[in-house]
Homo-oligomer: A and B are copies of this chain.
Amino acid sequence: MNLRPVPRSSVSDHVFGQLRDAIVSGTYAPGDPLPSERELGAVLTVNRHAVREALRRLQQLGLVRVSQGGATRVLDWRVHAGLDLAMSLTQVDEVLPIDTLVRDVLEMRACIGTDAARLCALRADPATRAAVTGAVTGYVGAAPDLDRMDQANIALWRQIVQGSGNTAYLLAFNSLVGGALAVGRVPPQRRTAELLDTAGHRRLAALIADGDGDGAAGQAHTLLTAPVTAATERTRT
Protein backbone atom coordinates (compact mmCIF):
# COMPACT_ATOMS: atom_id res chain seq x y z
CA MET A 1 0.00 0.00 0.00
CA ASN A 2 1.09 3.56 -0.57
CA LEU A 3 1.66 5.65 2.53
CA ARG A 4 0.22 9.08 2.89
CA PRO A 5 1.32 11.96 5.09
CA VAL A 6 -0.30 11.96 8.49
CA PRO A 7 -3.04 14.57 8.60
CA ARG A 8 -2.32 16.64 11.67
CA SER A 9 -5.22 18.78 12.70
CA SER A 10 -5.06 21.64 15.10
CA VAL A 11 -7.61 22.47 17.74
CA SER A 12 -9.25 25.14 15.63
CA ASP A 13 -9.48 22.62 12.80
CA HIS A 14 -11.58 20.40 15.01
CA VAL A 15 -13.80 23.27 16.05
CA PHE A 16 -14.17 24.29 12.42
CA GLY A 17 -15.07 20.79 11.33
CA GLN A 18 -17.62 20.26 14.04
CA LEU A 19 -19.36 23.57 13.48
CA ARG A 20 -19.31 23.14 9.71
CA ASP A 21 -20.89 19.72 9.90
CA ALA A 22 -23.44 20.93 12.42
CA ILE A 23 -24.45 23.79 10.17
CA VAL A 24 -24.53 21.89 6.88
CA SER A 25 -26.36 18.96 8.41
CA GLY A 26 -29.01 21.29 9.76
CA THR A 27 -28.32 21.00 13.49
CA TYR A 28 -28.29 24.78 13.42
CA ALA A 29 -30.98 26.09 11.12
CA PRO A 30 -30.44 29.19 8.98
CA GLY A 31 -31.08 32.27 11.07
CA ASP A 32 -30.32 30.51 14.32
CA PRO A 33 -27.78 32.17 16.57
CA LEU A 34 -24.66 30.18 17.30
CA PRO A 35 -23.62 29.88 20.95
CA SER A 36 -21.36 32.74 21.97
CA GLU A 37 -17.64 32.42 21.43
CA ARG A 38 -17.03 32.18 25.14
CA GLU A 39 -19.68 29.49 25.50
CA LEU A 40 -18.34 27.46 22.59
CA GLY A 41 -14.89 27.68 24.10
CA ALA A 42 -16.22 26.43 27.41
CA VAL A 43 -18.22 23.57 25.90
CA LEU A 44 -15.36 22.40 23.68
CA THR A 45 -12.78 23.07 26.41
CA VAL A 46 -10.88 25.27 24.04
CA ASN A 47 -9.62 28.79 24.13
CA ARG A 48 -11.74 31.54 22.70
CA HIS A 49 -9.16 32.40 20.04
CA ALA A 50 -9.33 28.91 18.62
CA VAL A 51 -13.08 29.32 18.33
CA ARG A 52 -12.64 32.68 16.65
CA GLU A 53 -10.26 31.29 14.06
CA ALA A 54 -12.73 28.56 13.26
CA LEU A 55 -15.52 31.10 12.95
CA ARG A 56 -13.43 33.15 10.54
CA ARG A 57 -13.12 30.18 8.28
CA LEU A 58 -16.85 29.51 8.47
CA GLN A 59 -17.44 33.14 7.63
CA GLN A 60 -15.11 32.85 4.65
CA LEU A 61 -17.07 29.82 3.44
CA GLY A 62 -20.32 31.75 3.71
CA LEU A 63 -21.80 29.61 6.46
CA VAL A 64 -22.20 32.24 9.17
CA ARG A 65 -22.57 35.98 9.49
CA VAL A 66 -20.81 37.52 12.47
CA SER A 67 -21.68 40.97 13.70
CA GLN A 68 -20.14 42.81 16.57
CA GLY A 69 -22.43 43.17 19.52
CA GLY A 70 -24.97 40.77 18.09
CA ALA A 71 -24.89 37.01 17.96
CA THR A 72 -23.15 35.08 15.19
CA ARG A 73 -25.95 33.75 13.05
CA VAL A 74 -26.13 30.78 10.73
CA LEU A 75 -26.63 31.51 7.04
CA ASP A 76 -28.45 29.29 4.57
CA TRP A 77 -25.56 27.59 2.81
CA ARG A 78 -27.77 26.90 -0.19
CA VAL A 79 -27.92 30.64 -0.69
CA HIS A 80 -24.68 32.05 0.65
CA ALA A 81 -22.04 29.33 0.36
CA GLY A 82 -19.79 29.21 -2.68
CA LEU A 83 -18.43 26.28 -4.63
CA ASP A 84 -15.54 25.90 -2.20
CA LEU A 85 -17.98 24.38 0.23
CA ALA A 86 -18.04 21.35 -2.03
CA MET A 87 -14.46 20.73 -0.99
CA SER A 88 -15.66 20.25 2.57
CA LEU A 89 -18.79 18.26 1.88
CA THR A 90 -17.71 14.71 2.42
CA GLN A 91 -19.16 13.86 5.79
CA VAL A 92 -22.80 14.81 5.57
CA ASP A 93 -24.30 11.79 3.93
CA GLU A 94 -27.73 12.27 5.46
CA VAL A 95 -28.34 15.74 4.10
CA LEU A 96 -26.57 15.23 0.80
CA PRO A 97 -26.02 11.62 -0.32
CA ILE A 98 -22.44 11.16 -1.43
CA ASP A 99 -23.45 9.47 -4.67
CA THR A 100 -25.61 12.40 -5.60
CA LEU A 101 -22.81 14.81 -4.83
CA VAL A 102 -20.41 12.84 -7.01
CA ARG A 103 -22.92 12.89 -9.83
CA ASP A 104 -23.35 16.64 -9.44
CA VAL A 105 -19.62 17.24 -9.51
CA LEU A 106 -19.17 15.04 -12.57
CA GLU A 107 -22.05 16.79 -14.25
CA MET A 108 -20.48 20.16 -13.62
CA ARG A 109 -17.10 18.95 -14.75
CA ALA A 110 -18.65 17.76 -18.00
CA CYS A 111 -20.39 21.09 -18.49
CA ILE A 112 -17.31 23.20 -17.78
CA GLY A 113 -14.92 20.83 -19.52
CA THR A 114 -16.90 20.83 -22.72
CA ASP A 115 -16.94 24.59 -23.01
CA ALA A 116 -13.33 24.87 -21.86
CA ALA A 117 -12.24 22.49 -24.62
CA ARG A 118 -14.16 24.59 -27.13
CA LEU A 119 -12.55 27.82 -25.93
CA CYS A 120 -9.14 26.20 -25.71
CA ALA A 121 -9.38 25.21 -29.36
CA LEU A 122 -10.42 28.72 -30.28
CA ARG A 123 -8.24 30.88 -28.06
CA ALA A 124 -5.17 29.01 -26.91
CA ASP A 125 -1.73 30.01 -28.13
CA PRO A 126 0.52 27.47 -29.93
CA ALA A 127 2.55 26.71 -26.81
CA THR A 128 -0.57 25.76 -24.87
CA ARG A 129 -1.83 23.59 -27.73
CA ALA A 130 1.47 21.77 -27.66
CA ALA A 131 1.20 21.41 -23.90
CA VAL A 132 -2.22 19.81 -24.27
CA THR A 133 -0.90 17.35 -26.80
CA GLY A 134 1.99 16.60 -24.49
CA ALA A 135 -0.35 16.08 -21.55
CA VAL A 136 -2.37 13.57 -23.57
CA THR A 137 0.81 11.72 -24.43
CA GLY A 138 1.73 11.61 -20.76
CA TYR A 139 -1.74 10.41 -19.94
CA VAL A 140 -1.67 7.63 -22.49
CA GLY A 141 1.78 6.64 -21.30
CA ALA A 142 0.54 6.26 -17.75
CA ALA A 143 -1.68 3.31 -18.70
CA PRO A 144 -2.57 0.93 -17.26
CA ASP A 145 -1.75 2.33 -13.80
CA LEU A 146 -5.11 3.76 -12.79
CA ASP A 147 -3.74 6.03 -10.10
CA ARG A 148 -1.16 7.58 -12.37
CA MET A 149 -3.74 7.87 -15.15
CA ASP A 150 -6.03 9.65 -12.76
CA GLN A 151 -3.29 12.11 -11.93
CA ALA A 152 -2.35 12.61 -15.57
CA ASN A 153 -5.99 13.04 -16.47
CA ILE A 154 -6.33 15.88 -13.99
CA ALA A 155 -3.15 17.48 -15.32
CA LEU A 156 -4.51 17.20 -18.86
CA TRP A 157 -7.78 18.88 -18.07
CA ARG A 158 -5.98 21.54 -16.12
CA GLN A 159 -4.05 22.35 -19.27
CA ILE A 160 -7.24 22.54 -21.28
CA VAL A 161 -8.99 24.72 -18.74
CA GLN A 162 -5.94 26.94 -18.54
CA GLY A 163 -5.87 27.14 -22.32
CA SER A 164 -9.48 28.31 -22.35
CA GLY A 165 -8.25 31.56 -20.86
CA ASN A 166 -11.25 31.68 -18.56
CA THR A 167 -10.20 32.32 -14.98
CA ALA A 168 -13.62 31.42 -13.61
CA TYR A 169 -13.38 28.00 -15.24
CA LEU A 170 -9.91 27.56 -13.82
CA LEU A 171 -11.00 28.38 -10.28
CA ALA A 172 -14.08 26.19 -10.55
CA PHE A 173 -11.90 23.37 -11.80
CA ASN A 174 -9.71 23.75 -8.74
CA SER A 175 -12.75 23.60 -6.49
CA LEU A 176 -13.98 20.44 -8.16
CA VAL A 177 -10.60 18.72 -8.16
CA GLY A 178 -10.05 19.57 -4.52
CA GLY A 179 -13.57 18.42 -3.80
CA ALA A 180 -15.41 15.17 -3.74
CA LEU A 181 -13.87 14.04 -7.02
CA ALA A 182 -10.38 13.76 -5.61
CA VAL A 183 -11.03 12.57 -2.10
CA GLY A 184 -10.82 9.00 -3.20
CA ARG A 185 -14.51 8.53 -2.60
CA VAL A 186 -14.92 7.01 -6.03
CA PRO A 187 -13.40 3.53 -6.11
CA PRO A 188 -11.02 2.85 -9.03
CA GLN A 189 -13.22 0.42 -10.88
CA ARG A 190 -15.86 3.08 -11.20
CA ARG A 191 -13.64 5.32 -13.27
CA THR A 192 -12.16 2.65 -15.46
CA ALA A 193 -14.44 3.24 -18.41
CA GLU A 194 -13.70 6.92 -18.46
CA LEU A 195 -9.99 6.68 -17.97
CA LEU A 196 -9.25 4.00 -20.51
CA ASP A 197 -10.54 5.81 -23.58
CA THR A 198 -7.08 6.85 -24.70
CA ALA A 199 -8.09 7.07 -28.35
CA GLY A 200 -10.80 9.55 -27.50
CA HIS A 201 -8.37 11.73 -25.63
CA ARG A 202 -5.92 11.65 -28.50
CA ARG A 203 -8.68 12.78 -30.82
CA LEU A 204 -9.53 15.59 -28.45
CA ALA A 205 -5.95 16.84 -28.46
CA ALA A 206 -5.87 16.74 -32.25
CA LEU A 207 -9.08 18.76 -32.51
CA ILE A 208 -7.76 21.34 -30.08
CA ALA A 209 -4.48 21.54 -31.98
CA ASP A 210 -6.47 22.14 -35.17
CA GLY A 211 -8.46 24.91 -33.58
CA ASP A 212 -11.74 23.11 -34.22
CA GLY A 213 -13.88 24.52 -31.41
CA ASP A 214 -17.09 22.65 -32.14
CA GLY A 215 -15.28 19.40 -32.76
CA ALA A 216 -13.33 19.68 -29.54
CA ALA A 217 -16.50 20.49 -27.64
CA GLY A 218 -18.25 17.47 -29.07
CA GLN A 219 -15.37 15.14 -28.30
CA ALA A 220 -14.99 16.54 -24.77
CA HIS A 221 -18.71 16.11 -24.23
CA THR A 222 -18.47 12.49 -25.27
CA LEU A 223 -15.54 11.85 -22.95
CA LEU A 224 -17.01 13.63 -19.95
CA THR A 225 -20.63 12.57 -20.22
CA ALA A 226 -20.06 8.84 -19.96
CA PRO A 227 -19.07 8.92 -16.28
CA VAL A 228 -22.02 11.17 -15.55
CA THR A 229 -24.56 8.69 -16.85
CA ALA A 230 -22.80 5.95 -14.94
CA ALA A 231 -22.99 8.02 -11.77
CA THR A 232 -26.64 8.80 -12.44
CA GLU A 233 -27.38 5.10 -12.61
CA ARG A 234 -25.61 4.69 -9.31
CA THR A 235 -27.82 7.20 -7.57
CA ARG A 236 -30.92 5.20 -8.40
CA THR A 237 -29.80 2.11 -6.59
Contact = CB atoms under 8 A, between A and B. Distances in A.
B171 A176 contact: no
Contact of A83 (B49, B105, B175): B175
A83 B171 contact: yes
Contact of A84 (B68, B78, B84): B84
Contacts of A60: 56-57, 60-61, 84
A170 interface: yes
Interface residues of A, number: 48
B12 A56 contact: yes
A84 to B, nearest CB: 4
A172 B170 contact: no
Contact of A175 (B82, B89, B104, B178): B82
A111 interface: yes
A21 to B, nearest CB: 16
A194 interface: no
A130 interface: no
A82 B168 contact: no
Interface string A98-135: 00110011011001100100010000000000000000
9 contacts: A52-B53, A53-B53, A62-B84, A89-B167, A104-B167, A107-B115, A107-B166, A108-B166, A111-B111
